[in-house]
Amino acid sequence: ERALDARLVEVDGHAVGVIDVRSRWTNLRDVGLAFGSPTTAGRPDAGYGGLFLRLSASFDGARPLSPLLLEDPAAVLHGAEAGWLGLESDSATVVMSAHPANPVSPTPWFVRSEATPMLCAAPFFSEEWMLGAAQSATWRWRILLSDSPLTAAAIGTLLREA
């Protein structure tokens, strides 16, 4: 079951698209289901698996955005756990957050800003996650889309409204 909600909000005179995604997974089998990634299957640093955005070529060379960079400007983001992650190009900004009540939280991130830009909230980056027999789990994410830069303060405000 998946639900999407989209709206526009104004931030510093610019429209920002806010997309909320909710996905409820139910295991209808009588055995647990394991969710993993290519990394959990033995391929290093290929931990995609979760909500995945493949961005346009205009994001090639985009500047990463993350609360981790506020603490450490040299932080490695690929595989790191954080509440949100984004990419900012010359023409647009995309930010994705994983809700703190998700079954795996904080979430690790798969990110690429060169060649084929990608953002992925990757809860199965390096460890499998099990959905028990006859169990359900709800996942929530928020995506921000802007044709202008967003400050960390504006991002924080928009994400807290979830």
Query: Quick check: helix, strand or coil at residue 53?
Result: strand
Mind listing the pLDDT tens digit of every residue in the chain (162 residues)? 999 999 999 998 999 999 999 999 999 999 999 999 988 898 988 888 889 999 999 999 999 999 999 889 999 998 899 999 999 999 899 999 999 999 999 999 999 999 899 999 999 989 999 999 999 999 999 999 999 999 989 999 999 875
What tokens were used for 130?
Answer: 């099990």
State the DSSP code for 58. G
| Residue 68 Ramachandran class (φ > 0 left, ψ -120 to 50 alpha, else beta) | alpha
Backbone angles phi, psi at 67, to 5 degrees: -60, -25
Which amino acid appears at position 11 of this protein?
V
Helices in the chain by DSSP H: which ranges? 67-71, 152-160
CA dist 78 and 107 (Å) reads 11
The confidence score (pLDDT) of residue 44 equals 86
Query: Quick check: helix, strand or coil at residue 108?
Result: strand
For the CA atoms of the chain, what is the radius of gyration? Answer: 16
CA dist 20 and 143 (Å) reads 6
